[in-house]
Amino acid sequence: MTQTIIPQETPKKNFDFIDSIRGIAMLGIVLEHSSAFWLLKYESYNDKLIQAGYMTVFKFATITFFLISGFLINHKFTEYTPIQYLKNRFKNTVGPWLFWIFIYLTLLIGHQVFITLKTTAPHISHINWYDSTVGMFFLVIFHSNYWFILNFLICIAILLLFKKYIYKWEFGFILALCSLFYSVNLYYGWLPLEHTTALFGFVFYLWLGIILNKHFDRVKAILGNISFGTIIVVNIVLFALATLESVHLMDLNLKDPFNTLRITNIIYSFGIFALLLKIKDMKNVQRILNPRHTTFGIYLLHLIIIDHLLIEVLRPLQLDVNTMSAFGVVGYSIMRFAITYVITLLLVKLIARTKFKWSIGSR
């Protein structure tokens, strides 16, 4: 009699703490994008320090997102084939991404057309309709914050293309050099400086997340031997260094002093990520923000809220950031963040209860 052996399923690991990190990182992204410090230039060193400090404190968010995405990708690679993973990723990501880009562009183009027709009605023939429509579409995709979705998919495709080398340190070293190239490029401008154009600058952090997952037990053991006090002190030092590099870039009058890929911010991001891993489960973050189901929606909607709603909400206050002190701009930025995040979170939770929940990646 042949005995039938039924293979037992490998129990899935619990990575709920990743959701907490995801929620905190999204808070940071919204805080940065809603800041009133963008484009402001100060002569005073103290004002520059305040500006750079505010823009740096949550600047770990973008690299953190790539780290946790890579962490989860390693887990998914064990469940799905590359084709299955890409198919699921495109289904849950690209559709919502294009939908909200369309909404953003509709509002933007509609506003521009209205203003143009109102102020230059006799000269409608002189309107560059391509730049106001198709050109605007490509501008939003490649030069706005929506670029990171496409960048993320490109990063995944690169890792899948070189999947057989994915656990080789030599491969990671090459990816690290690609990222460091952009850090040096900030000072020399060989390529456009905006972090949204750093095509290969973020693959390394996706790869590093995969490696962290593979060796997570060892990582936990290392973090377990380091006290909270030590990690906090180290992060304070790293924050100070990242802030000072931004000030230095300002003094050099370079274009993007708050760039995510400046070397000090990369190390600071690693430090904060280590702190968040050590804290692990943050039940209140998961309970209040429900990041697993709201994070993608917040990312897709918050730019629309900032560019099309926030300005109208704050217009009656008639505030001028150019006349405020640097500390005043900090307060104003925090108010902008609070309004943006609360409205966006409520909208996402509302959409999640409707048949349009697919538009925020919810099933």
Q: Which residue type does 294 have?
A: T
Q: How far apart are CA 261 and CA 179, in angstroms?
A: 7
> pLDDT per residue over 15-65, tens digit each?
778 889 999 999 999 999 999 999 899 999 999 999 999 999 999 999 999
Q: How many other C-beta atoms lie within 10 A of the C-beta of residue 233?
A: 11
Q: Which residue has the tokens 């998919």?
A: 153
Cα 307 to chain centroid, rounded: 17
Predicted pLDDT at 164: 87
261, 265, 268, 269 alpha-carbon torsion, rounded to 10°: -40
- Identify the pLDDT of residue 78: 63
Q: How many residues does the chain have?
A: 363
Tokens standing for residue 297: 């929606």
Residue that has been written with the tokens 């490029």 in this structure:
185
pTM for the predicted model, two decimal places: 0.88
Query: How far apart, in Å, are the Cα atoms of 314 and each of 39, 71, 283, 306, 338?
Result: 19, 39, 33, 11, 12
CB 344 within 8 A of CB 298: yes
Residues 6+ apart with CB under 8 A from 143: 194, 196, 197
Q: Distance (Å, rounded) from C-alpha 221 to C-alpha 113? A: 59
Nearest to 16 by CA among 361, 285, 325: 285
Whether the Cβ atoms of residue 17 and residue 284 lie closer than 8 Å to each other? no
Q: Which of 102, 31, 9 is nearest to 337 (CA)?
A: 31
Closest CA to 178 of 160, 205, 152: 205
For residue 7, what pLDDT is reported?
A: 40
**Type of residue found at 144:** S
Distance CA(347)–CA(353), nearest Å, equals 10
Per-residue pLDDT of the chain (363 residues; tens, 9 = 90+): 334 333 444 445 657 788 899 999 999 999 999 999 998 999 999 999 999 999 999 999 999 999 999 998 876 766 666 677 777 777 788 889 999 999 998 888 777 776 666 665 555 555 565 666 667 777 787 778 888 888 888 898 899 888 889 999 999 999 999 999 999 999 988 877 665 567 789 999 999 999 999 999 999 999 999 999 999 999 999 999 999 999 999 999 988 899 999 999 999 999 999 999 999 778 888 888 888 889 999 999 999 999 989 988 998 888 899 999 999 999 999 999 999 999 999 999 999 999 999 999 876
- In whole angstroms, give the CA distance from residue 339 to residue 309: 10
Q: What does DSSP assign to residue 8?
A: P
Give residue-wise pLDDT tens across range 288-335. Answer: 888 888 999 999 999 999 998 998 899 888 889 999 999 999 999 999
Provide CB contacts within 8 A for 360, sequence distance 6+. 96, 294, 296, 297, 300, 301, 348, 351, 352
- Spatial neighbors of 139 by CB under 8 A, at least 6 apart, are none
Asked if residues 49 and 243 have their Cβ atoms less than 8 Å apart, the reply is: yes
Do residues 48 and 247 lie in contact, with contact meaning Cβ atoms separated by under 8 Å? yes
pLDDT at 121: 52
Q: CA 144: distance to chain centroid? A: 12
DSSP string, 61-83: HHHHHHHHHHHHHHHHHTTS-HH
- 141: exposed, middle or buried (Cβ count in 10 Å: 0-12, 13-18, 19+): middle
Q: Is-contact 242 56, C-beta < 8 A?
A: yes
Phi and psi at residue 161, in whole multiples of 5°? -65, -35
